Amino acid sequence: MKQRPMLTLEDCKKIAAAAEAEAKRNNWNVCIAILDDGGHLLHLARMDGATPANARIAVAKGRTAAETRRSTANWQERVAKRIELLRMPEVTPVQGGVPIVFDGTCVGAVGVSGVQSHEDEQIAAAGIKALG
Amino acid sequence: MKRLLFAAIAATLTASVSAQQPAQPNPRDAVPDKMPNDIPYGAPISLDRAQAAINAAVAESKKRGWKLNIAVMDSGANLVAFARMDGAQIGSVAIAEHKARAAVKFRRETKAFESGVQEGNLHYLLTLDDIIASRGGIPIIDNGQMIGAVGCSGGTGSQDEVVCKAGVDALAKR
C-alpha cells in the first residue's frame, strides 16, 4: 500500500500565520484558506476588513489548486490562450491558489482572496514557505 | 353513474366529520405580545476573537481525545474562521458551517430545532429555510448583541455541543 504525507492542523496554523503576517506587512485585508489534497477545507481565516466574498473565493481558488495539482495562475494563463478551458467544471482560473507540494506530493493548497491576484498569490506563497 | 359516485363521496365525508373528536386547542394559535428571540445583530466578530473561540474549542476537544470541525460565522452569517482537527471527518466540514450559520440566522442555538422536532413534534421546522435540527451551533452574544456564532461537527451531537460551548464560553471570559 502506498503511503502519503498529510497536513496537520499545526501545519495549517503555521501556514496561516505566515500568510497573515505577509498580508499585514503590506496593509492588506484578505482571506486565507487552506485545503487538503481532496479539496476539503482544513483552516480558514478572514482578516478584519476582508469581505464575505473573499471567504468564498479563497476557498474556490484553493480547491482548484488542490484538486488539479496546479496553481490557479497556471489556469489563468492557460485560459487566456484557450478560452474553452472556462468550461472545465469547478475550476476558478484566477491567480491566488497555490498547491502545497511536500516530497513531490501535493498535500493540499492555499487560496487567498482580497487584493490584486498577483498579491493574493504572494501571500499564499509566503504561507507555504513557512512550512519549510 | 356520476351522480351516484358523488353521493358516495358525500356520504363518506359526512361520516368522517361526525367521527371526529371535539377540536383540541392548537397551542400554535396563541399570539404572544412580544417578539421571540429579539436579539439585535451586532458588529461582526473580529478575526482575533473568532480564532480565540476556535483555539478554546480545539483545546477542549483535544483534552477529550475527539476530532471535530469548528466554524465561526460573523453576525452576517459569513465565514470568519475555520479549523479541521487532524482526522476529523470531512463530511462535517459543511455541517459545522451550517450549524454556525443557522445559529446566526435564527439567533438561537440549533439545539432549539432539534428539541422542537424531537420533543415538540414541530415537524414544520424542517420545512423552514436553512434550518439544521441538530445541536452544536451556538450564537456569540456580546453586550446583549449577537456578533456571530460557533458551529461544531464531527462527533455525536452531544460531543459537538460540549466543544462548541467551550469555544463560546472562552469569549465570555475575555
Tell me the average pLDDT across B29-33: 94
Tell me the average pLDDT across A106-115: 98
- Residue B73: C-alpha distances to residues A125, B52, B78, B104, B133 (Å): 26, 13, 5, 8, 18
pLDDT of residue B61: 98
B37 domain-assigned:
no
Whether residues A42 and B84 touch (CB distance < 8 A) is answered with yes
Q: Does B43 touch chain A (CB under 8 A)?
A: no
B5 domain-assigned:
no
With vertex at residue A107, the alpha carbon angle to CA B78 and CA B59, rounded to the nearest 5 degrees, is: 55
B4 domain-assigned:
no
Q: What are phi and psi of A113, to 5 degrees?
A: -145, 140
Determine the length of chain B: 174
Expressed as residue numbers, the domain containing B103 is 47-172
pTM of the shown model = 0.87
pLDDT of residue B8: 53
pLDDT of B15 > 70? The answer is no
Determine the length of chain A: 132
B28 domain-assigned:
no
Q: Does A60 touch chain B (CB under 8 A)?
A: no
Q: Comparing C-alpha atoms, which of B5, B48, B113 is closest to residue A24?
A: B48
**C-alpha to C-alpha distance for A46 and A36, rounded to whole angstroms:** 18
pLDDT of residue B72: 98
pLDDT of residue B3: 56
pLDDT of residue A53: 98
> For the domain that residue B53 is a member of, what is the CATH number?
3.30.450.150
User: What digits encode the pLDDT tens for the residues B36-46?
Assistant: 999 999 999 99
pLDDT of residue B173: 72
With 0-12 CB in 10 A as exposed, 13-18 as middle and 19+ as buried, what is A42?
buried
**C-alpha to C-alpha distance for B146 and B138, rounded to whole angstroms:** 10
B149 domain-assigned:
yes
B13 domain-assigned:
no
When CB atoms are compared, the residue of A41, A47, A48 closest to B82 is A41
User: What digits encode the pLDDT tens for the residues B100-149?
Assistant: 999 999 999 999 999 999 999 999 999 999 999 999 999 999 999 999 99
Q: What are the DSSP E strand ranges found in chain B?
A: 69-74, 79-84, 137-142, 145-153
pLDDT of B76 > 70? The answer is yes
B41 domain-assigned:
no
pLDDT of residue B19: 54
pLDDT of residue A45: 98
Provide the percentage of residues in chain A whose pLDDT is more than 90. 98
When CB atoms are compared, the residue of A40, A42, A46 closest to B80 is A46
B142 domain-assigned:
yes
**C-alpha to C-alpha distance for B151 and B4, rounded to whole angstroms:** 61
- Crossing angle for the helix pair A117-129 and A9-25, nearest 10 degrees? 130
ipTM > 0.95, yes or no: no
The letter for the amino acid at B159 is Q
Best of A32, A42, A67 to substitute, by most chain B Cβ atoms within 10 angstroms, is A42
Domain count of chain B?
1
Best of B45, B48, B74, B79 to substitute, by most chain A Cβ atoms within 10 angstroms, is B79
